[in-house]
């Protein structure tokens, strides 16, 4: 369970990028986080992970996010970064995938089994021993998702998971998201994907929540979306 209570966050003492954000995500829920470029979606996730100082209260399973609780909090969270280049740092896909689980003290056999499971699930077995710097943009994104899934986090944060993916891989990611029972927070401009994966949507604009409700109510509300510098999902825009 994630709770934000009147959270304000800053980048280096500038003006706040998140402004009085409050919401609660129950266990097992999937929330879509939408908003125009610069609305604060990435910032919200970074704040939750303790990568950015904040004011107000953020809790994960009732543990408040603070310097002291970070290891415990981060253990629960898996974060797929918007830019996969910044996510992968080991030479090969395999080495990158085992990095997290080994750090958490799992033994090698268990880790190897998990790696193979996730690679099969994501249709990536061929890339197992590839060099990260030689992957295509979309392959890199899929591999980045794999490095997070292999850690089996309780809560999954995904920042733009489908950008750079071809239609087939996009569909695969959507299906994968739908199969995962974990609590999920997904930010995206791909509103059709949000429609396919999320029951609940939070709409951000300039660092504040302007709407929080069911996907049906928000994603079909042309006026609301356009007021916040956005457009209807494709499936509703051309009748």
Partner 1 sequence: MLAAGDSPVHKLHPSAKLVVTIAYIIITVSFSKYQLNGLLMMIIYPAFLFSSSGVTVGTCFRKLRFILPLVLAVGLFNPLFDRAAMIKIGNITVSGGTISMVTLMLKGVFCLAASFLLMATTSIDNLCAALRQFHLPPMMVSLLLLTYRYIGVMTEELSVMTDAYSLRAPGQKGIKFNAWGSFLGQLILRTMDRADELYNSMQLRGFSGSFTYADCKRFDRRDALWIVLWILLFLICRFLDIPGILGSLLLGGFS
Ligand X SMILES: Nc1ncnc2c1ncn2[C@@H]1O[C@H](COP(=O)(O)OP(=O)(O)OP(=O)(O)O)[C@@H](O)[C@H]1O
Query: Shortest approach of partner 1 to residue 185 CB, angstroms?
Result: 14
Is 128 a binding residue for partner 1 by CB under 8 A? The answer is: no
Residues at the contact surface with Mg ion, assessed by CB under 5 A: 42, 82
Is 187 a binding residue for partner 1 by CB under 8 A? The answer is: no
For the chain, the 3-state helix, strand and coil shares in percent, each to the nearest 5, are 40, 25, 35
Dihedral sign for Cα 82, 84, 88, 93, please: positive
Is 100 a binding residue for ligand X by CB under 6 A? The answer is: no
Query: Shortest approach of ligand X to residue 227 CB, angstroms?
Result: 17
DSSP 200-216: EEEEEETTEEEEEEEHH
Residue 100 near which of ligand X, Mg ion, partner 1, none (CB within 5-8 Å, type-dependent): partner 1
Beta bridge mates, 208: 205
Beta carbon nearer to partner 1, 71 or 167: 71
Round to whole Å and give the CA distance between 185 and 146.
17
Backbone angles phi, psi at 171, to 5 degrees: -60, -40
Beta carbon nearer to ligand X, 113 or 234: 234
Cα–Cα nearest to 3, from 24, 17, 21, 20: 24
Residue 17 near which of ligand X, Mg ion, partner 1, none (CB within 5-8 Å, type-dependent): ligand X
Q: Among residues 3, 16, 34, 40, which is the contact residue for ligand X, using CB under 6 A?
A: 40
Which residues, numbered 179-218, are part of the site for ligand X (CB under 6 A)?
A: none
Q: Among residues 2, 21, 31, 35, which is the contact residue for ligand X, using CB under 6 A?
A: 35
Tokens coding 127 = 């890339």
- How do strand 30-34 and strand 200-205 relate by DSSP bridges? parallel
Cα–Cα nearest to 156, from 172, 173, 177: 177
Is 19 a binding residue for ligand X by CB under 6 A? The answer is: no
Round to whole Å and give the CA distance between 172 and 122.
7
Fill in the per-residue mask, 8 to 37: x = in contact with partner 1 (CB under 8 A), - = not in contact: ------------------------------
Site residues for ligand X per CB under 6 A:
11, 17, 35, 37-43, 82
């Amino acid at each position: 369970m994630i709770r934000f209570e009147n959270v304000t966050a800053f980048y280096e003492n500038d003006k706040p990028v998140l402004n009085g954000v409050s919401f609660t995500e129950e266990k097992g829920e999937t929330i879509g986080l939408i908003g125009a470029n610069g609305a604060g979606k990435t910032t919200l996730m970074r704040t939750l992970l303790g990568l950015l100082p904040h004011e107000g209260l953020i809790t994960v399973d009732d543990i408040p996010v603070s310097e002291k609780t970070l290891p415990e909090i981060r253990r629960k969270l898996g974060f797929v970064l918007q830019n996969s280049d910044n996510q992968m740092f080991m030479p090969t896909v395999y080495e990158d995938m085992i990095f997290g689980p080994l750090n958490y003290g799992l033994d090698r056999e268990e880790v190897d089994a998990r790696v193979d499971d996730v690679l099969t699930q994501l249709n990536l077995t061929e890339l197992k021993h590839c060099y990260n710097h030689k992957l295509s943009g979309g392959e890199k994104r899929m591999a980045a998702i794999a490095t997070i899934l292999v850690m089996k986090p309780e809560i999954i944060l995904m920042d733009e998971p489908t950008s750079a993916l071809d239609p087939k891989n996009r569909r695969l990611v959507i299906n994968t998201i739908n199969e995962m029972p974990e609590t999920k927070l997904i930010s995206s401009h791909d509103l059709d994907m949000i429609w396919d994966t999320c029951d609940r949507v939070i709409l951000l604009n300039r660092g504040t929540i302007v709407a929080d409700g069911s996907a049906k109510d928000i994603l079909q509300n042309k006026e609301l979306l356009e007021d916040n510098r956005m457009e209807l999902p494709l499936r509703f825009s051309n009748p």
